[in-house]
Chains A and B, each alone.
Chain A
Amino acid sequence: MNLISACIDKLGQDILQGTIQHIQLTFFAMGIATLIALPLGIYLTRCPWKGVVSAIMGITSVIQTIPSLALMAFIVLIFSVFSLPTIGTLPALVALVLYALLPILRNTYTGISQVDPTVIEVATGMGMKPLQVLFLVELPLSLPVIMAGVQISTVWTIGVATLCGLIGAGGLGDLIIKGLRSFQMDYVLAGTVPAAAMAILFDWILGRIETWLVPEGLRIDPSKTQEVTSCP
């Protein structure tokens, strides 16, 4: 117990600051990624050219296969070519957004694609306009799958955001890197434990939001399966 309280006495301020930065990074990255991936995913379900669909899905999948550390490095190098800031929040955010895109994009696309075409035809046959079909039928029916994508993305982003310490964007990664360089376990733990706790907490919160958002009629049916995507 003494060890923990001593650690908090010594590093409390750093932990608090790191956590706030970490939440900010995650929050903005997720916000931007969702704003891009959700409309893009919806567009892809309506895109008449299958080539475009597989190209965009392919590109996001490839981004996902790049190790997160390498992605950071690439972005810093590319930014330096265009003389953009190579240190701080901007390159970090870009990397996080790129990383967070895929699960949301893929789940939005598959979620909407898997809505029973008969249901859509009935909706159309009853006189719904295309946007009404989207908002009244397709999105509510694919919400569980889309939310699962957002959930996966968030947990990944919290993990990857620890690397942002490397390029001076702050966050809990800062503490871990300091601990690594100076061989101090308490620093490493002070970065790791809050990050892990945050991942668990956000996962839980998003789970609650999903339950709250997903229409009751869909929750009753336990056979509804969600897209499962493995962690990197």
Chain B
Amino acid sequence: MIIFEDVSKTFPNGFAAVKRLSLHVKEGETLVLLGTSGSGKTTTMKMVNRLLDPTEGSIQIYGADIMKQDPIALRRKIGYAIQDIGLFPHMTVAENIGVVPNLLSWSQDRIRSRIDELLGIVGLSPEEYRDRYPSQLSGGQRQRIGVARALAADPPVILMDEPFGALDPITREQLQNEFLDLESEIKKTILFVTHDIFEAVKMADRIALLHHGQLQQVATPSELVESPANAFVDDFLGRHRFQLSLLTKTLQSLVGDTWTGPHPFKDPTGPTLSPRASVIDALDLFKITRSSRIGVRHREKIIGYIEKPQLHDIIHELLNDERAPS
């Protein structure tokens, strides 16, 4: 889908932001570029829509070299969302969302119905929010508009640069969850930049960890946490390792084996979580509800159950793992 081949970017002042990066982003996956500031993650992203051009190497989207394409046309096919300051303050919510469709000369009717559709998707009532200005919205609402705007022209690829970075922790988590739900519906190829390992673990199908412009490891969140490729990755996980292990264990991985039949359970009572929820979410819910089991629900169907003792076992296992190497 997106292929980075031996890509380097050296700025005119001699700073090498990205060094010989090779990376393959698969169709439909969310790949998180993770790293500290100065790691080259944003530079890597900006080379995809040619806000920056690589000094060496090539980038292909759908097999076509992006350097051989018109940057304007290329960018209109790529959704782009950044922190909430990226909304145009002089445009209404509707105008902001309609920017790319307008650039693509869609008919006004089509743009209008697309705007209403997208506002519905991000959970804001079109009648109420269509004509508001960004300054009249809360941070979370602005960010929802930012996501809607990136989706406006239904691009196959979406770039997101710390899209939830400016939000308070509670709103951020809420938006992350909403975005995960949304993403499972729309199936886009998403390149997501963040410096927050917890966000990375939560959002990613795979994580690419960068440091000083060099790729350290590309792996699924649980692989990254379970088997760090080198000392830097290990350091990066730091003292959050135990928490991250719990976070990267999804309920899907726990019930995946137990549920085999084609007919889902039908039991609307009792607490439920989505299959992408982590063991930590399950622990929380056990504590709040004092229930002895939690249903794992995909859309409106229960696909399995988690029992309390299962969680005890997992934690025991992890504790033993943690002790072993040191």
Contacts and interface: CB of A to CB of B under 8 A. Distances in A.
Interface of A: 116, 118-119, 121-129, 132, 136-137, 140-141, 215-218, 220-221
A122 B80 CA distance: 7
Interface in B1-60: 46, 49, 51
Nearest to B81: A122
B259 interface: no
Contact of A119 (B51, B74, B86, B103): B86
B49 A125 contact: yes
A119 B159 CA distance: 16
A216 B135 CA distance: 11
Interface string B57-76: 00000000000000011111
A218 B80 contact: no
Nearest to A128: B103
Contacts of B85: 116, 118-119
Contacts of A119: 85-86, 88-89
A213 to B, nearest CB: 11
Q: Categorize the interface residue count of chain B.
A: 20 to 34
Nearest to A118: B85
A216 B133 contact: yes
B80 A126 contact: yes
Nearest to A222: B135
Contacts, number: 67
A140 B100 contact: no
Interface of B: 46, 49, 51, 72-76, 80, 82-83, 85-86, 88-92, 99-100, 103, 133-136, 149, 159
Contacts of B83: 118
Contact of B91 (A116, A124, A215): A215
A217 B133 contact: yes
A119 B86 CA distance: 5
20 contacts: A118-B83, A118-B86, A119-B85, A122-B82, A123-B99, A125-B46, A125-B159, A126-B80, A127-B73, A127-B75, A128-B72, A141-B88, A215-B90, A217-B88, A217-B89, A217-B134, A220-B133, A220-B135, A220-B136, A221-B89
A126 B100 contact: yes
Contact of B86 (A122, A136, A215, A220): A122
Contacts of B92: 217
Contacts of B72: 127-129
Contacts of A215: 90-91
Given A217-B133, A220-B133, A126 B90 contact: no
